[in-house]
Amino acid sequence: MEKVKAKKHLGQHFLKDLSAAKRITELYQGPKKVLEIGPGMGVLTQYLRERTDLDLYLVEIDKESVAYLQHQYGYTDEKLFDADFLQMNLSERLNTEGDFGIIGNFPYNISSQIFFKVLDYRDQVKEVVGMVQKEVGVRLASKPGNKDYGILSVLLQAFYDIEYSFTVPPGAFDPPPKVDSGVIRLVRNMDKKLDCDYKKFKLVVKTAFNQRRKMLSNALKPVSAQQEFPYANKRAEQLDYLQFAEITRVLFPNQ
């Protein structure tokens, strides 16, 4: 197999360790239709293409990478989107109202935004396998009571089972980043139910963590309107998603 050359653009460090690339692609066990974000020079793509159980789509914003993928693999506009993932209507571009998955070596500078977009499509995105900065991966998988636990931890764990799979050292990339990377896997858990309005839930979680050192009685003043609510003497990092949902139902009972 031809060794894929790597380059850096848009905050992305390209994986050159082919064994790590293969391991990442093997982690994905989700829906047949899968979208790879930021394939670059195709280091993950080459292994994903070998899997006959997958219907692979790609989205890449870098023009040089798009040209390379078109030339190397013969991709057309139907399967390779020359676009910004964060601006895409995923259902429309993938031509589906059904399930799909996401995989990729996510650019460090937009990884959090990628996961917020995943949440927007949570009823369709059944699995995500992504490589991110290690501290981001640790944060997403962190449980209540941990200093790494934050807004995205709560929001994602309300819908997904999250596993921090393995660490990838700087030397596996070209150019090497200054930090370790981590590979995480999110699997949609359809048994998880919020029983409250998601937008209000998100508002409560964000407001609570905006002042994470304060007790919720103070941190949630902007949305509580002096109402009493459960766990008011706790801090945001002490609560799981079910407890935040309980607070949301009390503060916004008719929504």
Task: Check the annotation: does 242 bind a ligand.
Answer: no
Task: Check the annotation: does 123 bind a ligand.
Answer: no
φ and ψ of 125, to 5 deg: -80, 105
Task: Check the annotation: does 105 bind a ligand.
Answer: yes
Task: Check the annotation: does 38 bind a ligand.
Answer: yes
Task: Check the annotation: does 71 bind a ligand.
Answer: no
Do you know the residue count of the chain? Answer: 255
Task: Check the annotation: does 30 bind a ligand.
Answer: no
Two structure tokens written together for 72: 């190397």
Pairwise CA distance, residues 245 & 65, whole Å: 43
> Known binding site: residues?
13, 15, 38, 60, 84, 105
Which residues does the annotation place in the binding site for S-adenosyl-L-methionine?
13, 15, 38, 60, 84, 105
